[in-house]
Chain A
């Protein structure tokens, strides 16, 4: 499947960066900042204060040199700007995509019908359409709004939405009736009943989502914000108290120094990157061509305990192929192979072709040996579940075992006693048996084998390591399902599954406290999609399915479910790692700033200056610079996400703890010291 080229964006792109820089200045507005990021608002407040001190310094002589105050002020402003920048870059990527979607929407006119049986239409703006309006779309027309086809059939180019260049067929009734605004009819015509109000169509929602305009903080993000807010609050008290303590010692500490202590202690790193992490998580999903309706869904994906996977297309390659001819007693293999070959000559399905090639390759039969020009073909019918050929004097039929058996029974022919055993054996191997009958006499069965996707077993092992249970959903009978489940290595299966059974299974898992993900496309999947914690609807699916799910897969590829889980986990890991890093950073900053603060009152406290920073001024400036720069250094990680490998939670914890926990303690010691050396060497401070 080809992906939409516009969905892919490189992280660094000149235009994007320029816009982001512009936006990071726009985001300095204190009111907006207060609402979106209280920690950064606190930093900005200090920035204003520091700027005030700087300006005052131009007129009144101060203890600290203006050059020093200037540098502090600049770096404080940079801290806020860097945080804004990270958010702007993340948003910028989404915006670029929204532009292309908007183009798909513009210049559309609707052909409004008064009623379904009318043929006369009036041209109206799409915004005039309401839910329930009926419109006509003919060759070359754009679909003006989301709706269901109520009459007709058309092939539709949906590339604007899905990136899929092959046109899709949409017809009334069934699971292929949904059409999306912005897509174009290539041939034929359809009458559509509109299902969404103006501004609420799928494409509108998509635009809003990728623009980030509708982005609400996820529960986990909110909880994290409470933590960050709490830390900020307590550090306000800590820093105010230091002023009191200093009063007791009888020395004055410049307020600017205490402000600097405050800035370095509050968790600016994670606060600055938090929204960028969230936005880029959605963005990574988008790059996988999955549209999450909310950030909440992405987060939930990381929590999934149980994954419901459809067998066909996910676990097995869609088509089965013939692997063996198993004759009943008294019948030559060659006879069965020949009969099978003949019955499949006109069968253009992949299964049919595989039967032909098996007969030719394994049993040395030749297609050319049979003159089938006079033969009469019986096409497959879903009703009889049989197809076949009348060739010369023989009537050959192949099909579902039960149907073939009843055919023989009706003709009064005795069914060979070992047919059932053969059929059972094939089922137990995970195959589908196809019975073959010649002149009402059953010859045996064709063993149709399901092909397990290469590598899928390993993926399930990975998922198991991650603590995720995989469940195969299939319409096959119990025996076949069990065999395939064992071969593919899934943990559980539901055979002869109906939508009700799926729903039941999800409810059962959820009752045990588990979170369930599934994908589906048909209207009958909608209840299960809605019930599941993460429901991925296929873009080709019905409106009902798309509404019920909380994600839409634009490629309509059920394997993506595994991808979704990975992206969800990666998002959470990135957030956790950077939080840990940010908090453990505080240790070094204390050791940098506390000795500096009280250097005048208690020179003995220099014992705490374990980094041997040059002077109080250089110590404070280094800490502030480190604090600002670390945000920039971590932007790429926030955008790309921490590298994720499917390993057990215990192993992941060990690894990340070592990198971000221990690293978080060590890095700032080294970083602050290095910056101190540089600023002293360059003479930026005395």
Chain B
């Protein structure tokens, strides 16, 4: 750990804390249907969309109608994206003349982008036409992010409203979120990337003669626009296979830190917006601070362990200086250890899935922490929308377990937590662990998977674990070294992504549907306090015990054993 590194992380957090207030306020206005800046542009665009979709913007939906809308919309998106890939050779915007994407891979990719996972079993520059990237993948990066935010909005509304079934209108929500929030922010960010040297064109790939005289093909494309929503929507799917390690996706340390900020930006501002919408800023801050403490609790050891020198390397040549012994394998020299650790911690805690270094080559415990980040289920800030709604599931669980200790039926924000809520909360919280454990164990039994690992022992195990953890928690990054483009992995990760995303969305909607009907009990001194330090501690303990314990054996057998072995003579 270096001082500069620590200061960098601290500055990053301070910037975030400054930004959540203005953006959170803006998001609140977007979600509450209020007028916003540039209304004169947005309002006509939205009206046109409502007209084309035949949506009556004033008609609100109950939880079932809203959920059906989400599912119908997502199935439609899935089919559309699948066929764009399958027919890309017939479509325009394909200067490299890429052929159709193979069926199973196309399915996996379609699922991956519709579920906001962006798990990529392909390399963009050698598989996807510009049209597929822009009209297919990038569109879903916007829409899947909007769906996540919409679900969070519904859950917030369910707490803010009482004695009603109305939770908002899905079509209006995704339209407003996309038009007023995601598009403008992406536009600004894309301009910034272009300024920093990220390409934005539809040119043919360039062939260059290198100094050694070799021929090198340099891919081109509309990278900046793709990159902007990849980061802002916590999607993480790169234009190129190398993702943010690629100099065209993340050219400078400056773009790197801006990407870091933008990864946290919307998801953390949404927590502030939550506070505003339920009329308790304090509640919003409590949850945001819990998230940030969790983040710090995990990034500090991660940075520490990554900064350590691998004793096995030292053994080879102990005469080398400390600097040369540092773990730079798989890292970009323009970023170094601190930036790589920060980026990896951010992307694994927000389910972004972008990488600016090779996660597979992190020291065992640092890599273990990236797995652990994901295993908590997108609650450390988390994906846009999904971070908040999953965190609120944990909040409800905490309130339920500990809330009884004050001698009242547990309640959160004046809403009693009953049987229906607990049923859905348990489904929402357990679906991902269920998928991860099931498929990891299945993978362990399959010789085909094990043979593809290129590593045995604990590290090989970590690779399988990482893959399913990433898919089921809609992260999308991976430990390289696992051959992802096989039928088994394509299908099993697709199942993980679908279940991890939509089962939990349905469960969250179920909670919202039940909560919104309840009356709001006014708080008294007998009410379980859900703000302040004690609640933060309780929430964290609950997340770590419930979220973490499921994976204790797996982590022990992967990263922890690997770490212990690294130190054995």
- Counting chain A CB atoms within 10 Å of each CB, the highest count among B405, B430, B445, B464 belongs to B405
**How many angstroms from the CA of A248 to the CA of B557 in the assembled complex?**
10
Would A586 and B545 be within 8 Å (CB), given that A226-B426, A649-B526 are in contact? yes
Q: Which among A467, A586, A660 is the interface contact of B524 at CB below 8 angstroms?
A: A467
Contact B418–A652 (Cβ < 8 Å): no
Say if the beta carbon of B553 comes within 8 Å of chain A: yes
Please give, as numbers and ranges, the residues of chain A lying within 8 Å of B565 by CB-CB distance. Answer: 602, 604
Which residues of B are found within 8 Å of A649, using beta-carbon distances? 406-408, 525-529
Which B residues lie within 8 Å of A653 (CB)?
402, 405-406, 528-529, 534
Interface of chain A, main secondary structure: helix
| Interchain nearest-CB distance for B263 vs A (Å) | 29
Tell me the complex Cα distance, A51–B460, Å.
37
Q: In the complex, which of the residues A222, A241, A465 contacts B553, with contact meaning CB atoms closer than 8 Å?
A: A241
What does the 1/0 interface line of A230-270 toward B look like (CB < 8 Å)? 10011001101111110111000000000001000100000
Chain A: interface size category: 35 or more
Partner of A572, one of B407, B423, B556: B407
Given A241-B438, A464-B525, A579-B404 contact (CB < 8 Å): yes
Q: Within 8 Å of chain B (Cβ to Cβ): is A148?
A: no
Are A223 and B404 in contact, CB atoms less than 8 angstroms apart?
no
Question: Chain B residues with Cβ under 8 A from A303's Cβ?
Answer: 408-409
Picked from A227, A237, A248, A514, the residue with its CB within 8 Å of the CB of B434 is A237
Residue from A238, A513, A656 within 8 A of B405 (CB atoms): A656
CB of B363, distance to nearest CB on chain A (Å): 16
Stretch at the interface among B178-186, B249-257, B496-504, B514-522: B514-522
Partner of B444, one of A224, A248, A468, A602: A248
- Chain B residues with CB under 8 A of A249: 457, 461, 557
B402, B421, B550, B553: which has the most chain A beta carbons within 10 Å? B553
Asked if A305 is at the interface (CB within 8 A of a chain B CB), the reply is yes
Give every chain B residue within 8 A of A209 (Cβ-Cβ).
none
CB within 8 Å of A: which of B311-345?
none
B407 near A660: Cβ-Cβ < 8 Å: no
Contact A302 B426 (CB under 8 A): no
Q: Indicate whether B234 reaches chain A with its CB closer than 8 angstroms.
A: no
Q: Is A394 an interface residue (CB 8 A)?
A: no
Q: How far is the CA of A245 from the CA of B462 in the complex (A)?
A: 11
A648 touches B560 (CB 8 A): no
Q: Give Cα A226–Cα B554 distance, bound, in whole angstroms.
A: 25
B528 closest partner in A (C-beta): A649
Whether A584 lies near B541 (C-beta < 8 A) is yes
Per DSSP, chain B at the interface is helix
Q: Does B14 make an interface contact (CB < 8 A)?
A: no
Expressed in whole angstroms, the minimum distance between the Cβ of B523 and any Cβ of chain A is 8
Residues 425-466 of B, flagged 1 when their CB comes within 8 A of A and 0 if not, give 010011001100110111011000010000001101100100
Determine the residue in chain B with the shortest Cβ distance to A655. Answer: B405
Contact with B along A91-128 (1 / 0, CB 8 A): 00000000000000000000000000000000000000
With a cutoff of 8 Å between Cβ atoms, the chain A residues found around residue B414 in the complex are 513
Q: What is the bound-complex CA distance between A51 and B29, given in angstroms?
A: 64
In the complex, whether A177 has a CB less than 8 A from a CB of chain B is no
Q: Is the CB of A238 within 8 A of B561?
A: no
| A184 close to chain B: CB less than 8 A | no
- Cβ of B87 under 8 Å from chain A: no
**Can you list, as one digit per residue, whether each of A592-616 has a CB less than 8 Å from chain B (1) or not (0)?**
0010011000101101100000000
The answer on a CB contact under 8 Å between B441 and A244 is yes
In the assembled complex, which residues on chain A have CB atoms less than 8 Å from the CB atom of B444? 244-245, 247-248
- On whether the beta carbons of A657 and B434 are closer than 8 Å, the reply is no
Q: Which residues of B contact A226 (CB under 8 A)?
A: 419, 422-423, 426
**Smallest distance from the beta carbon of A249 to chain B beta carbons, Å?**
7
Query: Is residue A569 within 8 Å, beta carbon to beta carbon, of the partner chain?
Result: yes
Is the pair A583, B405 in contact by a Cβ cutoff of 8 Å?
no
A573→B409 contact, CB < 8 A: no
Smallest Cβ distance from B238 to chain A, in angstroms?
30
Chain B residues, Cβ within 8 Å of A302: 407-409
Q: Is B552 an interface residue (CB 8 A)?
A: yes
Is A650 part of the contact surface with B, judged by Cβ < 8 Å?
yes
List of B residues within 8 angstroms of A227 by Cβ: 397, 400-401, 422, 426
B549: interface (CB < 8 Å)? yes
Q: Which residues 536-558 of B sit at the A interface, judged by CB distance below 8 A?
A: 538, 541, 545-546, 549-550, 552-554, 556-557
Question: In the bound complex, do residue B405 and residue A245 qualify as a contact, i.e. CB atoms below 8 Å apart?
Answer: no
> For the complex, is B155 an interface residue (Cβ under 8 Å from A)?
no
Asked whether A512 lies within 8 Å of B545 as measured between CB atoms, the reply is no
The yes or no answer to B79 lying at the interface (CB within 8 A) is no
Contacts of A238 in B (CB 8 A): 433, 437, 550, 553
Instruction: Indicate whether B417 reaches chain A with its CB closer than 8 angstroms.
Output: yes
Chain A residues 264-305 with CB under 8 Å of chain B are 265, 299, 302-303, 305
Q: Are B419 and A576 in contact (CB under 8 A)?
A: no
- 14 additional A-B pairs beyond A238-B433, A573-B406, A604-B561, beta carbons within 8 Å, are A222-B419, A238-B553, A242-B553, A265-B549, A305-B521, A584-B541, A602-B561, A605-B556, A644-B407, A649-B528, A653-B534, A656-B405, A657-B538, A661-B541
- Sample (7) of A-B pairs whose CB atoms are under 8 Å apart: A265-B549, A466-B525, A513-B414, A572-B409, A584-B545, A605-B564, A648-B526
Which 7 A-B pairs rank lowest in CB-CB distance, beginning with the nearest?
A467-B526, A576-B404, A244-B441, A569-B407, A467-B524, A604-B564, A230-B426
